[in-house]
């Protein structure tokens, strides 16, 4: 499990005064960038130089408790299912008071960004996934 702690920012709430439901996927991606920080050259290098992409194919979010400006979020990231060319990342969102705010399940397919065709999960990416498999 890799944990990211980040405060909710001023412009991340909506007109109802709570964090906009679409923002949770931006937070998830932030956590994903940290999760894969240990790949060779780092995650931006993976995308920009090695041209490996992770387009989402299916994302499911359960929202349990609202987040507001002033809250501090902890995102715990683990790997769920790991296939040959695809994987599922699971992000648990916890509020500073311990409330379970949301869970995002994010299935992506590894691809070559120049050709947009599927590729097998590269070994260094796979090693990180294997090291952080969710227990459940």
What's the Cα-to-Cα distance from 134 to each of 2, 59, 106, 107, rounded to whole Å?
A: 11, 17, 13, 14
* Tokens of residue 60, six digits: 């499911």
Q: Name the minimum Å distance from CB 15 to a second copy.
A: 4
Q: Are 17 and 68 a contacting pair, CB within 8 Å?
A: yes
Of 1, 33, 132, 134, the one binding a second copy (CB under 8 A) is 33
> Does position 118 bind a second copy by CB under 8 A?
no
Q: Name the minimum Å distance from CB 87 to a second copy.
A: 15
Secondary structure (DSSP) of 52-105: EE--EEEEEEEE-S---TT-EEEEEEEEEEE-SSEEEEEEEEEETTS-EEEEEE
Question: Based on CB atoms, which residue is closest to a second copy, 49 or 130?
Answer: 49
> Does position 99 bind a second copy by CB under 8 A?
no
What's the Cα-to-Cα distance from 36 to each of 20, 70, 129, rounded to whole Å?
A: 26, 28, 9
Q: Name the minimum Å distance from CB 6 to a second copy.
A: 10
Q: Which of residues 37-76 bind a second copy (CB under 8 A)?
A: 42, 44-45, 47-48, 53, 55-63, 66, 68-70
Where do contacts with a second copy occur on this chain (CB under 8 A)? 7, 9-11, 13-18, 20-26, 28-30, 33, 42, 44-45, 47-48, 53, 55-63, 66, 68-70, 113, 116
């Amino acid at each position: 499990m890799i944990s990211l702690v980040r405060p909710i920012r001023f412009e991340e709430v909506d007109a109802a005064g709570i964090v906009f439901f679409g923002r949770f996927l931006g937070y998830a991606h932030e956590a994903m960038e940290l999760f894969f920080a240990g790949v060779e050259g780092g995650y931006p290098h993976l995308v920009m130089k090695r041209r490996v992409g992770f387009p989402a194919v299916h994302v499911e979010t359960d929202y349990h408790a609202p987040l507001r400006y002033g809250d501090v979020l902890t995102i715990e990231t683990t790997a769920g299912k790991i296939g040959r060319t695809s994987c599922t990342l699971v992000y648990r969102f916890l509020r500073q008071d311990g409330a379970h705010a949301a869970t995002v399940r994010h299935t992506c397919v590894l691809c070559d960004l120049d050709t947009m065709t599927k590729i097998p999960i590269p070994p260094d990416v796979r090693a990180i996934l294997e090291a952080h498999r969710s227990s459940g």
